[in-house]
Amino acid sequence: MTGTTQDDYTDRYARRVRGMTTSEIRALFAVASRPEVVSLAGGSPYIAALPLDAVGEMMSKLATDMGTTSLQYGIGQGTVELRERICEVMTLSGIDASNGASPDDVVVTVGGQQALDLVARLFLDPGDVVLAEGPTYVGALGVFQAAQAQVRHIAMDADGLVPAALEAAIAEAGGRAKFLYTIPTYQNPAGVTLTEERREEILDICERHGLLVVEDDPYGMLSFEGEAPRPLRARRREGVFYLSTFSKTFAPGLRVGWILAPHAVREKLVMASEANILCPSAFAQGAVTQYLSTMPWREQIKTYREIYRERRDALLDALEDLMPAGTTWTRPDGGLFVWATLPEGLDSKAMMPRAIAARVAYVPGTGFYADGTGTDSLRLNFSFPAPERIREGVRRLAGVMEQELAMRAVFGPTTPHRRRGPAGADAPGPDLA
């Protein structure tokens, strides 16, 4: 077909693709990457904090000394060496042999994102229900939408997922809920953490209703105040899938993550992964294995924690000093994000073009809901910009909000206030990590 237009393909798309829509927000993100814009929109770790020379040297040795394995195909589950190292890493969070963690039940994935995709492939049929926090990780929404599942959001408060709301959602789903997808620690995007007591309560509820738990934990090691509560998987071994990644503790460019699966399903996961990617990158696995074997990775995590703590403080201080009255926000003890709720009547999505014009970017709250809610909130990232840039970004954002509030006071609402909209309109992309 020569000279075809987009329309020539529209009717041919698989049903799962039809819900994938682009949005005006995506176009704005292209502008947001310009250097004059302070981007509080991303989710990128501060890679410049890595000892890049040493990492580079390690990588070049990987090709010269171990090229015949590191540049070759590998096995679908991932190398034994890396799976052993992953078990060592999980020990720091309290997931160890005493609660049944073993390299045999680890599947190496292409980042945490493929781990989510594999779980969806394994369990979701079209029309199935996934229960997830509201708001939740935008990349998970994309995966569940591609699986043609329905996401039902469950309320959170400052202590994380609300157990009574989970009970109600399970009852309402009437047996169609396949699993609970949760990010209990330093949640993306809300920045809140599920308390110790609620961890037990949530696990009890899921067990009572026979609901599987998919625990996504990319941020648990990035704590700023003491250690994070132990993951759900450290408390229950059956019925819990534990997903994590080296994206935030080492480097996202290598795209290495993992699933610790209940033993009975590990084989199916490997088959699903082989159908998807044959095997994870041998080179990337070798790089992570070498990094964990030869470099001070625990110290590096401490470095990330210190940098992010300082940046979190810069963001919280700037919000405190500069935000208009009526704005509220979360105070994360770790991770990369703060979730802000705007004063009555402001719409984060409608405000975005004016924010970009004022040279500041954020992610509107709607991106983190499957049902278009979230216009009253937005996500702010503090891991990537330097503290003074963070403050400048908040100053610009506050200026835009003040202007919007002043306009509203004179002319009434300037844009329709849409609380609900199309599902997945702000589908995932690198800016929404």
The neighbour count for residue 155, using CB atoms within 10 Å, is 13
Which of 39, 79, 247, 249 touches ligand PMP (CB under 6 A)? 247
- The DSSP line for 196-223 is HHHHHHHHHHHHHTT-EEEEE-SSTT-B
Alpha-carbon distance of 345 to 187, in angstroms, equals 26
- Using rule CB under 6 A, residue 252 touches ligand PMP: yes
Which of 29, 123, 137, 368 touches ligand PMP (CB under 6 A)? 137
Q: What is the DSSP letter of 259?
A: E
Q: For the CB of residue 43, give the shortest distance to ligand PMP in the complex, in Å.
A: 4
Subset of 265-324 contacting ligand PMP (CB under 6 A) = none
Q: For the CB of residue 290, give the shortest distance to ligand PMP in the complex, in Å.
A: 19
- Using rule CB under 6 A, residue 74 touches ligand PMP: no
Between 87 and 433, CB nearer to ligand PMP: 433
- Using rule CB under 6 A, residue 188 touches ligand PMP: yes
Q: Residue 36 — φ and ψ, nearest 5°?
A: -75, -15
- Using rule CB under 6 A, residue 76 touches ligand PMP: no
Helix locations, 226-262, DSSP H: none
Q: For the CB of residue 94, give the shortest distance to ligand PMP in the complex, in Å.
A: 19
What is the residue whose two structure tokens read 């987009």?
6
Which of 146, 161, 183, 390 touches ligand PMP (CB under 6 A)? 183
Alpha-carbon distance of 12 to 392, in angstroms, equals 47
Distances, alpha carbon 318 to alpha carbons 37, 186, 375, in Å: 17, 20, 22
What is the residue whose two structure tokens read 């030869």?
294
| Interface with ligand PMP: number of residues (CB under 6 A) | 15
Cβ contact 148:15 at 8 Å:
yes
Subset of 214-243 contacting ligand PMP (CB under 6 A) = 216, 218
Which of 93, 113, 273, 375 touches ligand PMP (CB under 6 A)? 113
Which of 45, 76, 103, 111 touches ligand PMP (CB under 6 A)? 111
Q: What is the DSSP letter of 413?
A: -
- Using rule CB under 6 A, residue 245 touches ligand PMP: yes
Binding site for ligand PMP (CB under 6 A): 43, 111-113, 137, 139, 183, 188, 216, 218, 245, 247, 252, 257, 433
